[in-house]
Every structure is written in structure tokens, then in C-alpha cells.
Chains A and B, each alone.
Chain A
Amino acid sequence: MLSATETAGPAAAAPGPAAARTRTRVRSGTALGLGAAMTYLSLIVLLPLAAVVWKSADQGPGFFWRAVTTPDAWAALKLTIGASVVVALVNLVLGTVIAWVLVRDTFPGKALVDLLIDLPFALPTIVAGLVLLALYGTDSPIGVDLAYTRIGVVLALLFVTLPFVVRTVQPVLLELDRDMEEAAASLGAAPWATFRRIVLPNLLPAMVSGTALAFARAIAEFGSTVLISGNIPFRTQVAAVNIFGQIESDNVTGAAAVSTVLLVVALGVLFGLDLVQRWGTRR
């Protein structure tokens, strides 16, 4: 998820003589490009996000706190965090299982299954919500009606976050040398012991980062939950839908306050992930 930062990292950190020279004097072409990039980023991303944070705070911390703790906003935030934790944990386990099956197992149609994993990234979120509602809604052909329930919300979040853990664990598993596993097995280790002692420690960083990304995506999700949740305050309304409702009813400050909470949580998770990864690579 943060690969642009990561890949830019080594180049930025390389203390070559060229880098030392340009640190004192940035080339004029570079300065021009940097200025253009920062202007573009500021107009589209940075200023607008700063405006959200500013708006949430401009009537004082007391107002911010009251806006976040109105019963419906608070319930929406609690549901969002709770559902996202569940979704992250399910992804942690089943995402790893799927990655394992895709790398270590062989069966007809595996390439097709591998291709399907990315479908949730390519499919518009509103379509994701609609397809889930078709199978698990009030007209369910299999008699499972999850429409307007919290389980329905979790299902929608599971759909949109499916690729994260699979796609972070899969390449690590592909690279993993199987010699050690074979050695452990030949020395009499049970398959589970081999997995726990040898495979799991190698996969853990990828599993954690995939799970964190899935969590960050889940708390932000809007489109897929709109239709299936039915938008019932206190029961199925997630934070993004709550924000949308507040914008529609012209309560912009309240919307900005809940938005700020979501932003802070997401950035906290991603920043924590970055720290863990850097700590992991340094070790």
C-alpha cells in the first residue's frame, strides 16, 4: 500500500556523493517540478483535508467532542471499529489460507481463482453492495436474509478487503525457501509444528501488514455498505454513511468531526505499520 514511499525510501536515504552535493543546492529543474507537484497536491489533497480538520476544530474542542459523541455518531464509530476488527481478523486467517492454497496447492482452475482475487479492487463498491444484496438480501434465492443487519455490513467489508492479506502474503510465500521445511519434516516435526515454527515467523510481517491495510480500508468503506446496511442509525450505520447523512442534512461541522476521527485512526494505523516494517527490516 505504501510502496511509493518505501521504494522512494532507499534512493532518498542513499548517502552518495551526488546526494550530498545536491542537498546544498537543489537543481532549478528539480525545484520547478517539486513546486508544480506540491501545488497540485495542495489544491487537490492537502488543502481540502486540512479544511476538514480545521472545520472540525473551529468551534472549540468541546464542540468537537459533542459532535463525535452524539448518540448516532458514537454508535456509528463503535460499529465501524468493531466490524473492521472482525473483518481484519477474518482476513488474517482466511487471507493466509487462500494465499497458501494459491501457492502450495495445485488444482484445475487455479489460475482463474488467482485472477478472481483482484475482482473486489476492480469492481465498483456500489456494485459490490448490490451483488451481495442479490444473494443475501430480502429476495435471497437461498433463504439467507442479511439485509439491514450488522452481519450484512461485515460481509460487505469482507468483500472489499479480500485482496489485501492474500496479495501481501502470496509473494512472500512464493519466495520462501522450502529446504528448511523439508529438513524439519525429515527430522520428524509434525506438519503443524513445521508451519508454526518455520513458516509462520516468515509470513508474520506480511500477514500483519495485509491485515492493517484491510483494517484501514474497512473503516473508510462507504459504497458497499450503503445498500446492504439499509442505513439504520444505532444498528447498521457505519461512520462513512453517518458522515454522508450529516453532509446531506447540512451539519458540516459534525461531519467534519467524525471525518477527523476516521482520518486520525487510519493514519495512526498506517503510521504504526510503517514503524513496525522499518523496525522489522532493521533487525
Chain B
Amino acid sequence: MTRVALRAVALTYLALLLVLPVGLIVWRTFGAGLGPFVDSLTTPSALHAFGVTVVVAFWAVLANTLFGVGVSLLLVRHSFPGKRLLGAFIDLPMAVSPVVVGLALVLVYGVGSPLGRGLASAGIQVIFSIPGMVLATVFVALPLVVRAVVPVLQELGEDQEQAAHTLGASRWQAFRRITLPGIRGALGYGVVLAIARSLGEYGAVAVVSGRLVDRTQTMTLFVEERFGNFDQQSAFSAATALALIAIVILLLTKVLRPKGAV
């Protein structure tokens, strides 16, 4: 009896909060067939927004992957004072509101700061352009790769790496032949999470991009701008496209998730 009641409570809550709203958007998007969906996503503005999203996400994921693997090795394989503090710094972005991330980057890299002015006089515009958006995206997705790789790297131990060293392998060889295959699954999981976060970031990018249509507009900014301009079909189509990407990513993480990690 209690079992059935609890199941009913849980499933009703999930249906009302999650399944019905997401289902409704998908249904409304495809209500008039596939045509309007394709048409509203192949306008020049939509395609441009998609391009900007891909470029920003690509650089941000690349940076976070390289940094993530490096820092994970540092945290697990090396010892130094202040290791706990470094771990805490890496988790810090999780506690920061996306809007605050945007403000923080504007304060340091905007033309109001000496650094921003210096970069501007060197011809590098960070805020209201792609580099700032990459920085914002790197910030919000920073911990994901590290948190996926660190536990697996610890589990792996360094016996095999040391054996490789003893047999004359260089550091790079040992990393490429032993360590990298060992963390491949976890790294894939972390990278997929970072891709999801990077494609979906809204608040931090909204602040640093200046929301310039056809210039610094990403897919998420496109959704908001189209909705605000009463172009529901475009907003719903783009939202559905992003939701479908999210679902694919969800399935990928299910496959890649390391055993024991949640």
C-alpha cells in the first residue's frame, strides 16, 4: 500500500515537473509537421547562432579537457602543499551564479579595466566577442572533467606507470600507452558532460556576449531572443533541438559513466 502510494507520488511529481512540460514543447514544435521545424532552424540567424555555439563550445571543451587531465594528474600523482586548496578552487565555479561569472569576466577583461584596455589596444576584444564567451564557458564547465577523471586515476594506481618507466618508457610514452587508456572511459564521460554544459550555457554568455544578434548570439540566446520577439515557432524549434541534443548526451553519459560514479 505504502509502496504504491510512494510510487504514485514520485511518478506524478516527475510527470508534472519534467515529462509533460518537455513533451509538450516537442509536440508543439512538430505539431505542424517537420517542415516548420526545419525552416525555422535553417534561417541565416539560426544557422549563425548554431555556428557560434559550436565554435565557443569547441574551444571551451578543448581547454577544459587539457586542463582537466593535467590537473587530475597533478592532484593524484603529485604531492605538494596546498593540494586541498587547489581542489577547492577547482570546485569553486559550481557555487557561482552564471550571471556573476559574466560580471566577473567583464570586470577583468572589459574596457573598464587596465587589462581589458591593454588587450583592446593590442587589437584583442574579449568582452562582447567570442574570446570572452569562450572564457565564460570554460569557467562554468571547469570542474566537470577533473571530477570525472580524479577518482578513476586514483583507482588505477601507478604501478603500471612505474613499471613502464623502469622498462625505459619516457613520461609521454607511459602517459599515452598506460595512463590514457586507463582513464579513457572517465575522460569521455567528463568531456560529454562538459560538452552538454558548454552547449547549454546561457547566463554567463548572456552577460559577456552583449547579446548581439547575428554576431555573438548562441543557440540559447537565440531561444530567448526569438521568444521575446513572439516568434514562438523558432523559439520552440531551437529549444526542441537543444532538448534532443541533451537527451542524446544523457544516453551517452549512461554508456560512459564509470562504475560506481554517480
* In contact, A4 and B143 (Cβ under 8 angstroms): yes
Q: Does A180 contact B (CB under 8 A)?
A: no
| B181 → chain A closest CB, angstroms | 21
CB neighbours of A19 from chain B (8 A): 79
Contact status of A130 and B227, CB under 8 A, knowing A34-B80, A243-B99, A244-B206: yes
A102 nearest CB neighbor, chain B only = B10
For residues 87 through 142 of chain B, which have their beta carbon under 8 Å from a beta carbon of chain A? 87-109, 112-113, 135, 138-139, 142
CB neighbours of B206 from chain A (8 A): 244
Contact status of A125 and B202, CB under 8 A, knowing A135-B24, A159-B17, A220-B97: yes
Selected contact of A216 from candidates B28, B95, B150, CB within 8 Å: B95
* In contact, B24 and A141 (Cβ under 8 angstroms): yes
Q: Does A187 contact B (CB under 8 A)?
A: no
Bound-state CA distance A101–B19 (Å) is 17
Bound-state CA distance A100–B7 (Å) is 9
Selected contact of B97 from candidates A23, A51, A101, A262, CB within 8 Å: A262
| B243 → chain A closest CB, angstroms | 6
* In contact, A12 and B84 (Cβ under 8 angstroms): yes
Q: Does B178 contact A (CB under 8 A)?
A: no
Q: Does B71 contact A (CB under 8 A)?
A: yes
* In contact, A220 and B247 (Cβ under 8 angstroms): no
Q: Does A116 contact B (CB under 8 A)?
A: yes
For residues 37 through 90 of chain B, which have their beta carbon under 8 Å from a beta carbon of chain A? 67, 70-71, 73-76, 78-81, 83-84, 86-90
* In contact, B138 and A44 (Cβ under 8 angstroms): yes
Contact status of A100 and B6, CB under 8 A, knowing A123-B200, A227-B227: yes
Q: Does B250 contact A (CB under 8 A)?
A: yes
For residues 186 through 205 of chain A, which have their beta carbon under 8 Å from a beta carbon of chain B? 191
Bound-state CA distance A155–B13 (Å) is 11
Bound-state CA distance A244–B103 (Å) is 8
Selected contact of B21 from candidates A134, A170, A241, A259, CB within 8 Å: A134
* In contact, B25 and A259 (Cβ under 8 angstroms): no
Bound-state CA distance A213–B259 (Å) is 23
Contact status of A127 and B106, CB under 8 A, knowing A8-B83, A135-B21, A167-B262: no
Interface size on B, residues (CB 8 A): 93
* In contact, B10 and A97 (Cβ under 8 angstroms): yes
Q: Does B203 contact A (CB under 8 A)?
A: yes
Q: Does A240 contact B (CB under 8 A)?
A: yes
Bound-state CA distance A222–B98 (Å) is 7
* In contact, B87 and A8 (Cβ under 8 angstroms): yes
Bound-state CA distance A219–B100 (Å) is 12
Digitize B205-243: 1 where CB-to-A-CB distance is under 8 Å, 0 elsewhere: 011000000000001100110010000000110010011
Q: Does A98 contact B (CB under 8 A)?
A: yes
Q: Does B246 contact A (CB under 8 A)?
A: yes
Selected contact of A220 from candidates B14, B98, B200, B227, CB within 8 Å: B98
Contact status of A131 and B243, CB under 8 A, knowing A4-B147, A243-B97: yes
| A240 → chain B closest CB, angstroms | 5
CB neighbours of A259 from chain B (8 A): 97, 99-100, 103-104
Contact status of A252 and B87, CB under 8 A, knowing A7-B150, A222-B202, A240-B99: no
| A160 → chain B closest CB, angstroms | 10
A142 nearest CB neighbor, chain B only = B20
CB neighbours of A141 from chain B (8 A): 24
**7 pairs of A and B residues whose beta carbons are closest in the complex:** A124-B200, A48-B104, A220-B97, A5-B87, A222-B203, A122-B246, A223-B202
Would you give 12 A-B contacts (Cβ < 8 Å), ordered by A? A8-B83, A33-B73, A40-B67, A41-B90, A44-B138, A116-B18, A126-B223, A127-B239, A130-B25, A168-B262, A247-B106, A266-B96
